[in-house]
Amino acid sequence: MRALALVLALVSSAAFAQAPRIAIIIDDLGYQLGAGQRAVNLPGPVACAVLPGTPRAVMLAEAAFARGKDVLLHLPLQSMEQSVNAEPGAILLDMTRSEFARSFASSIASVPHAVGVSNHQGSLLTQHPGHMSWLMEEIEAHGDLFFVDSYTTHRSIALMSALESGVPAVRRDVFLDPDRSLETLQREFDRLKDLSRRQGMAVGIGHPYPATLAFLETELPKLADEGYELVGISEYVLRQARSEPVRNSSPGGEFVHAVSE
């Protein structure tokens, strides 16, 4: 009996060690207090990506940090459709190098406790090698930050630029809510779990919509019993950098433009 118990314990330990890992980020925080607080209170290490210069940015970043969540600067980058500075802190194509640096410095300072940077929109800017090099230089210069490519266009070179610059980085695999229907949320969450099983890791991005938050409040507590490990995005990036090659294949281009642009 003791031998059997030992075998079962070893099998259980091995299964846990190899559990598929999922990281989830909630984007676009900083405007709505109620939705932001609800996102901060989601179960488990769900990351909070906060838009710079927004009315609730500091409050929600502080609340997320107090709850042990990873805080990201959700940096607005110019999109194909965006011809003017539509968001506070937006990085635009016609900025000079010094303007770029000043804008980034102001944005990172406006989101306390940020451990990484992700792009908000950016279907135009993430295609430009020069601007992506500038972004990675700023990320590297501001300390121990990493980058998450939200991958709002399949033409994005942001991940490649980060890795070439030595900035730890990953790219999202799934947008959970390209629309807000329960059917879509369930389908994309199932796709996220399937990708994590096949790849070992997967990153999902959602938004502070009532439907998304309600869905995650119900589904996240089930992950451990289903055999998945929910991890913070900082831990995910660290594990990726230490032990696993970064994936460069498209993570599901059919929804690339659906949410953030």
Residues 6+ apart with CB under 8 A from 17: none
Q: State the Cα angle at 230 between 192 and 108, rounded to 5°.
A: 95
Q: How many CA atoms lie within 13 A of 124 on its CB side?
A: 14
Residue ranges and CATH numbers for the domains of the chain are 20-255 (3.20.20.370)
Please report the beta strands in the chain, taking only residues with DSSP state E, as ranges in sequence order.
21-29, 47-50, 71-77, 114-121, 146-149, 169-171, 174-175, 201-206, 229-230
Task: Select from 12, 4, 24, 26 the least CA-distant residue to 260.
Answer: 26
Per-residue pLDDT tens, the chain, 261 aa: give them: 344 343 333 334 444 457 999 999 999 999 999 999 999 999 999 999 999 999 999 999 999 999 999 999 999 999 988 655 578 899 999 999 999 999 999 999 999 999 999 999 989 999 999 999 999 999 999 888 999 999 999 999 999 999 999 999 999 999 999 999 999 999 999 999 999 999 999 999 999 999 999 999 999 999 999 999 999 999 999 887 776 544 434 444 333 333 434
pLDDT at site 81: 80
d(CA 211, CA 57): 22
pTM of the model: 0.86
d(CA 214, CA 36): 13
What does 219-253 look like in DSSP terms, one character per residue? HGGGTTTTT-EE--HHHHHHHHHHHSPPP-S-S-G
